[in-house]
Amino acid sequence: MKRLFPLLLTPLLIFLSFRTILFHHEVPPLGFLAWLGLIPLLVSLKEASIKEVFQKTFLSAFLFYGGTFYWIYNALHTFGHLSPVASFGTLIVMITAMTLYLAGAAALAQFLSRKMGFSFYMLLPWAWVVQDYCLNYFPVGGFSWGALAYTQGAALPLIQIADLGGPYLLTFVIVFFNASLARFFMKEEGRGRQLAFAILLVVATTGYGFYRISSWRPTNSSLKVALLQGNIPQDEKWQAGRAPFIEETYAEMMQAIPEADLAIWPEASYPYLLSLPLEKFPTKPEIFRFETLLGSVTQRGRERNTVNNSALLVRKGGEVGGIYHKVHLVPFGEYVPYSKFLFFLHKVVPEVGDFEGGKEIHPLSFEKGKLGLLVCYEDLFPEIARQATAQGADLLINISNDAWYGWTSAPIQHLELSRFRAVENRRSLVRATNTGSTAIIDPVGRMREAPLFQRLILQGEVALGGRTSFYTRFGDLFAWLAIFVVVGLIVAPKKRKRGIHD
């Protein structure tokens, strides 16, 4: 049990470092635990073989991911109506895939340490960033929700470096600090220099953050937004008999808005299937007293067999001014990945959707500028928000329906993803969600957050546009630096045996 304790303690500490809801109440912010939480595991890896490093890291990572993403089962079974076996099996496969990345990264760091003679604790942060970057893309489109950077949303000065290197740079700093302390406790040669550099790195990160926050100024252009949180129960959203009630609910909320430049409805909030092309929105034109962005499921094509998860920009009076189709679909929710090989899943789990992804990321133009759209969990992927901003988006908008997750940690953790997209691109970001978390976020990550599971309208004024950030211009340079370092060490000739040095 003594040998297992550090392997159990690390996943508990990292789990608690994320925003967490227990028994319908949010746990106080514990993001600081991420700066210490890896130490028990890392100390236990000091003298371990490559195989043991993989096994120990696998156990800790599996427990962390299992505890963090328990809500996936809830979404698939309770609201997606998949069988318990299919729901649990999907969760296990997903957790195992993520765990293999992290265990593989730790084992690779140990392999390179043995090969090159460098300290494991120096190499691990680089390998960690590489696996984080890969996890953002593979498998089935990626899922990097559990990146350590997302534990730090409440520490605004620390997250400002996201405008330089995205979440990858902050994750590197967190892992490097943990590894440096672990190395110091193990009394390994060179520990003092690494720890000193780690402290300097954290101080520099914090100083840069305070500078960015204090120097940010709103632009001369602003927009008054009204974000509608309809709070429609998930099990009612697609009941045909409830469609008139849902439509009337949003119509009444629109009438309750005293003034706005742009009203925003959540993802798939319009309760009817829309056929494209569409010039006029098929509802009462008097609803649209201001420009409105709303989510709807649409169908198009000669046979009406192409179905999209879409966002429509509706002008005053009901004219449709632009459409964005969600590009990055949810695997096993909106489509079956690798359908040529997994064709049988449509019969096993017929509730899985058959949506088609949009062809390109593009902002929608409206009266005061351009809107960069992030539908549902598209805000998980830094490259989507970055591409939209690089194409001229003055405001980032996320429309979501997190009712799938119920009273779990998922809605508030999802909000933290959006916070990072705002900081990375130095753009205001607003979120309109069905049940929460609806929020207004400024370009340095400060936000007004509405309560969960209440019908409400969140109004505010946001700055439009601004200077283009380093991250928007150059993207994931830091992640590619990490890849270069790791690949370079893999292909480098083996060094002669010597002591462990910096």
135 residue type, one letter: L
**Total Cβ atoms within 10 A of residue 301:** 11
Contact 399, 433 (CB under 8 A): yes
With beta carbons less than 8 A apart as the criterion, state whether 274 and 299 touch: yes
Note every long-range contact of 277-282, with CB atoms under 8 Å and residues 24 or more positions apart, other chains counting: 278/312, 278/320, 278/323, 279/319, 279/320, 280/318, 280/319, 280/320, 281/312, 281/314, 281/318, 281/319, 281/320
Q: Residue 307 in 3-state DSSP?
A: strand
Active-site residue (options: 237, 370, 376, 416): 376
Quote the CA–CA distance of 151 and 68 in Å, as a whole number: 12
Give yes or no for a contact between 378 and 346, defined as CB atoms under 8 angstroms apart.
no
Given the structure tokens 């293999």, which residue do they identify? 100
List of residues 6+ apart from 207 with CB closer than 8 A: none
**Residue from 56, 237, 291, 326 carrying the catalytic annotation:** 326
Report whether 429 contacts 444 (CB < 8 A): no
To the query of whether residue 326 is one of the catalytic residues in this protein, the response is yes
User: Who's near 449: CB < 8 A, 6+ residues apart?
Assistant: 415, 437, 438, 439
**Rounded to whole angstroms, how far apart are CA atoms 453 and 436?**
6
Q: From CA 117, how far away is CA 128, in angstroms rounded?
A: 19
494 is catalytic: no
User: Which residue among the candidates 56, 237, 267, 291 is catalytic per the annotation?
Assistant: 267
Residues acting as catalytic residues: 267, 326, 376
